[in-house]
């Protein structure tokens, strides 16, 4: 796949004098959504190539995004319809944008009219602001985890009775996992095994 992507890019640049590209990325997360609105907006923004991802069994499986990043070259811009189409959460968004900027690729979101490019002073400011928001989001998650842990302890759910985790508890566990918190850290903080964590996040 990467060979074909690279070949197309080389061909495109050769006939356009090395012109840098706007590369679109669109994603839907439920079966009720469709990509038409996102793709139309990306095409109007002159995105020459658009990669897409549909709902999958795992939120971590985003082959379209992977292909878009592989396809991009220094000077290109990856464009999305809205910020939440790129990252699962703020920290995930910052990590992706950081990897793009390290590659010399800019990022632009249409709905928010935000461009993140660390090569410019404005882009650096935007990046640091979003990094601060990511840290804030991470701290909120940790606080919620601590509160959930105390509530579970009060109900006698720790130390041998994890089978009584409520659906709300499991949603919190999933939030922690999706934010990038290591499974071992979650298991240790809740006083259960990693196997228990995996079993419950796959149960609901």
- Whether residue 2 has pLDDT greater than 50: no
126 in a domain, yes or no? no
Return the higher-pLDDT residue of 100 and 119.
100
Is 29 tagged catalytic? yes
- Whether residue 157 has pLDDT greater than 60: no
Q: What is the pLDDT of residue 155?
A: 60
Q: Which range of residues forms the domain containing residue 92?
A: 2-117
Give whole-number Cα distances, 16 to 10, 12, 48, 71, in Å. 10, 6, 12, 16
61 in a domain, yes or no? yes
95 and 186 housed in the same domain:
no
Q: Which H, E and C letters describe 18-68, residue by residue? A: CCCCEEEEEECCCCCCCCHHHHHHHHHCCCCEEEEECCCCCCCCCHHHHHH
72 and 138 housed in the same domain:
no
Are 23 and 79 a contacting pair, CB within 8 Å? yes
Condensed to tens digits (0 to 9), the pLDDT of residues 7-43 reads 555 555 544 545 689 999 999 876 556 789 999 999 9
Are 147 and 107 a contacting pair, CB within 8 Å? no
137 in a domain, yes or no? yes
- Whether residue 62 has pLDDT greater than 80: yes
- Whether residue 54 has pLDDT greater than 70: yes
**pTM for the model:** 0.58
> Exactly one of 14, 29, 106, 119 is catalytic; which is it?
29
Cα-Cα-Cα-Cα torsion 113, 116, 122, 125, nearest 10 degrees, comes to: 110
Residue with tokens 């985003």: 62
106 and 155 housed in the same domain:
no
105 and 35 housed in the same domain:
yes
């Amino acid at each position: 796949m990467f060979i074909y992507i690279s070949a197309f890019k080389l061909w495109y640049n050769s006939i356009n004098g090395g012109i840098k590209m706007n590369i679109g990325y669109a994603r839907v997360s439920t079966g009720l959504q469709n990509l038409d609105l996102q793709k139309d907006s990306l095409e109007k923004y002159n995105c020459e190539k658009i990669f897409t991802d549909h709902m999958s069994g795992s939120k971590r499986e985003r082959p379209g995004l992977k292909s878009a990043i592989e396809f991009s070259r220094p000077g290109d811009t990856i464009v999305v319809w809205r910020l939440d189409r790129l990252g699962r959460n703020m920290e995930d968004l910052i990590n992706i944008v950081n990897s793009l900027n390290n590659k010399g690729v800019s990022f632009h979101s249409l709905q928010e009219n935000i461009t993140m490019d660390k090569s410019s002073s404005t882009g650096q400011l935007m990046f640091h602001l979003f990094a601060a928001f990511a840290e804030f989001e991470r701290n909120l998650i940790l606080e919620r985890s601590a509160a959930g842990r105390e509530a579970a302890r009060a109900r006698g759910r720790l130390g041998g009775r994890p089978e009584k985790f409520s659906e709300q508890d499991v949603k919190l566990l999933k939030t922690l996992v999706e934010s990038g918190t290591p499974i071992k850290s979650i298991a240790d903080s809740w006083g259960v095994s990693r196997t228990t964590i995996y079993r419950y996040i796959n149960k609901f």
